Amino acid sequence: MREEDRVKDTRSGTDVPLSDESVDVEVHERSTVYRGAVWDVVRESFDLPEAGGALTRDVLAHTGAVAVAAIDDEDRVLLIRQYRHPIRMRDWEVPAGLRDIDGEDPAVAAARELGEEADIRAEEWHTLADMYTTPGGSTEIIRIYLARGIDALPHAQRTDRVGEERGIVVRWTPLAEAVDAVLAGSIGNATACLAILHADRARERGWTDLRPVDAPWPGSRV
């Protein structure tokens, strides 16, 4: 292949591996421009070779989060509905929460959120999907776990919900119905959409080729 053809192909992506690539960039300056109750906004100046010079970007420094696609023996997915103030809606979601406890294993955090938001526990856990929610402006990474072998959480282990979570509605929904709702636009929560579609595909494959629960966590540098 001629060099000029190789460059053209690289720019079109035809000979670039179909896998996200971690990149080390030299950061010249870094400062916190806003410190919030849950997350901060960080300003960084850095060099990027293809940009031909220095760039400055404001980034939402997020703790990261976990979510759970809980599937029962009838191939139903557990969905919860709760109020989300930024969008002024009660949207359908899967159980999820921030990684805001120092040192807590993400899989442990996922099991905790499943218990706190839906009063259930699971025996089988796998990594289902990873998602960069807003890569152009936020460091947030959400890992979605697949949970099976579902059982009710003992009453002694249940916690009282507070705030918006007091209004949570829990619904077990056949996967096919949930997929239809996603494709029809009736469910707009991105994490729920990804969890439902991944879970449906995993079911079609007979729950094979699943990643282990302790698969390496995608990195974040901010």
Nearest 5°: CA angle at 161, between 159 and 165?
A: 145
8 Å CB contact between 178 and 101: no
Report the C-alpha gap between 175 and 203 in whole angstroms.
9
Residue 107's nearest CA partner among 217, 220, 219 is: 217
| Other residues' Cβ atoms within 10 Å of the Cβ of residue 156 | 5
165 part of the active site: yes
SS3 track for 65-115:
EEEEEEECCCCEEEEEEEEEHHHCEEEEECCEEECCCCCCCHHHHHHHHHH
Nearest 5°: CA angle at 65, between 74 and 211?
A: 55
Among residues 93, 116, 165, 204, the one annotated as catalytic is: 165
Per the listing, tokens 């009453």 go with 155
The values of phi and psi at residue 60, to 5°, are -75, 110
Report the C-alpha gap between 57 and 167 in whole angstroms.
38
- Give catalytic residues, as residue numbers: 165
